[in-house]
C-alpha cells in the first residue's frame, strides 16, 4: 500500500489542536490501537525508548486530571481517548542503569556492547553534558517523547481523527496524582505531556504558519 504526498499534506492541513471534542463520537478500538502502534514504533536516541503511553479512560481519574490541568479542561471528559505520555527518569536514563544496559544489549551485537556503552557514556557525559544535573537527563528524555507524540497525531489525522497535545498542567501536582494512582512505578517514570483524541465538535479557524521561505534555509 502506498500513500501520496498530497494525501500526507492533506492530513497535516486537516490536523489542528482540537479544543472541543464531540462526546457522541468514539474512536474504534482498531483505529486507536493503530494510533498507539505508530507511537510504539517511533525512533529514539540510542534506542532508549524512554516512554510509556497511559490511556486514561477511567472517568474518575479523568476528572482528577481535569481539575489540575487547565490545558485539559475543555477536552475532558468529552475526548474519546486521553493519553498521558510518561517518560523514564534518570533511574533508567543513565548509560549505566540496569534498564539502559538491557536496552542497549538489544540494539547491538554482544561483541560490540562494551564499546557501545562507552560511546553512550561519552555522549551523555561530554557531548551533551547530561550528567551534570538530573534535570538534564529528564529533559533529554522528554524531548524524545515528542517524536511519538507527533507520529500519533499525524497517524490520527491520516484516518480522520482529531487530537490535541496538552502541556497546560502543574507538573508537580500531576506527578503527585499519577504517583497516588500507582502509575509512576516507584520513581521510574515522570509525566512528559498529554494528548486528547476524538472528533472535532466544530471546524477550526484559519491556520497560522510562517511562510515556507521564512522557515527553510538552504545551504548549498
Task: List the chain domain ranges.
Answer: 5-201
Alpha-carbon distance of 168 to 157, in angstroms, equals 22
Alpha-carbon distance of 48 to 144, in angstroms, equals 9
Residue 104 has pLDDT above 80, yes or no: yes
Region 2-31: what's the mean pLDDT? 95
Residue 190 has pLDDT above 90, yes or no: yes
pLDDT digits (tens, 9 = 90+) for 112-164: 999 999 999 999 999 999 999 999 999 999 999 999 999 999 999 999 999 99
Residue 1 has pLDDT above 80, yes or no: no
pLDDT digits (tens, 9 = 90+) for 33-66: 999 999 999 999 999 999 999 999 999 999 999 9
Cell digits of residue 173: 501536582
Strand 81-88, strand 51-55: pairing: antiparallel
Cβ atoms of 88 and 99 within 8 Å: the answer is: yes
Say which CATH superfamily domain 5-201 falls into.
Answer: NADH Oxidase (3.40.109.10)
Region 87-104: what's the mean pLDDT? 96
Tell me the average pLDDT of the chain: 96
Alpha-carbon distance of 51 to 147, in angstroms, equals 10
Residue 92 has pLDDT above 90, yes or no: yes
pLDDT of residue 66: 96
pLDDT of residue 120: 97
pLDDT of residue 2: 84
Cell digits of residue 183: 502509575
Structure confidence at residue 207 as a pLDDT band (50, 70, 90): confident
Amino acid at each position: 500500500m502506498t500513500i501520496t504526498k498530497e494525501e500526507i499534506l492533506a492530513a497535516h492541513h486537516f490536523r489542528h489542536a482540537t479544543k472541543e471534542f464531540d462526546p457522541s463520537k468514539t474512536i474504534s478500538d482498531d483505529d486507536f490501537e493503530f494510533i498507539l502502534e505508530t507511537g510504539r514504533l517511533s525512533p529514539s536516541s540510542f534506542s532508549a525508548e524512554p516512554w510509556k503511553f497511559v490511556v486514561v479512560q477511567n472517568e474518575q481519574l479523568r476528572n482528577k486530571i481535569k481539575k489540575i490541568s487547565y490545558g485539559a479542561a475543555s477536552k475532558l471528559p468529552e475526548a474519546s481517548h486521553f493519553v498521558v505520555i510518561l517518560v523514564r527518569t534518570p533511574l533508567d536514563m543513565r548509560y549505566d542503569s540496569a534498564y539502559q544496559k538491557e536496552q542497549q544489549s538489544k540494539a547491538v551485537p554482544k561483541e560490540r556492547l562494551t564499546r557501545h556503552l562507552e560511546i553512550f557514556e561519552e555522549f551523555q557525559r561530554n557531548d551533551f553534558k547530561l550528567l551534570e544535573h538530573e534535570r538534564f537527563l529528564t529533559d533529554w528524555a522528554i524531548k524524545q517523547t515528542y517524536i511519538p507524540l507527533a507520529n500519533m497525531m499525524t497517524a490520527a489525522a491520516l484516518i480522520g481523527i482529531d487530537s490535541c497535545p496538552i502541556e497546560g498542567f502543574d507538573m508537580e501536582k500531576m506527578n503527585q496524582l499519577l504517583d497516588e494512582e500507582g502509575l509512576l512505578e516507584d520513581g521510574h517514570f515522570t509525566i512528559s505531556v498529554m494528548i486528547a483524541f476524538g472528533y472535532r465538535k466544530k471546524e477550526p479557524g484559519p491556520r497560522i504558519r510562517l511562510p515556507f521561505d521564512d522557515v527553510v534555509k538552504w545551504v548549498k
